[in-house]
Structure 1
């Protein structure tokens, strides 16, 4: 009985350390991916600010462009 309790304690300690390592590595991976994403977005914004291109997020302008004239018969 005593040996079984000791083995269960050892197993629970191993599981706790495994979960801690897994959460730690997933956290580090998430932080690295987030940093890469922020860097790429920053570079894209910097690139488009240097260009003479206006980026407009307007549905009215988009609809005007998408409207097609009906062909005249």
Structure 2
């Protein structure tokens, strides 16, 4: 009985350490991915702030650009 109890304790300790390692590595991976996403979004925001691009195209403006102009003779 004592041997089985010792084996069960060892197995539970191994399982606990495996679960801890799994949670630790997943947490580290999640933190790294979030940091990369934040870094990329900050870089994109800075890039588009420097570009000063305003995209405001209404339906009427589109129609004006699509009209064909007659060639001048």
Considering the TM-score relative to the shorter chain, is it more than 0.5?
yes
| Displacement over 6 Å in runs of 4+ | none
Displacement of 1:54 after TM fit?
Answer: 2.2
Q: What stretches of structure 2 of length at least 5 have no aligned partner?
A: 64-73
* Whole-angstrom CA distance in 1 between matches of 2:3 and 2:31: 42
How many residues align structurally? 61
Larger Cα-atom Rg = 2
What per-residue deviation string (whole Å, max 9, x for no partner) do you get for residues 5-31 of structure 1?
Answer: 000000000000000000000000000
- Match in the other structure for 2:21: 21
- Match in the other structure for 2:53: 53
- The two structures, once aligned, show a CA RMSD in angstroms of 2.0
Q: What stretches of structure 1 of length at least 5 have no aligned partner?
A: none
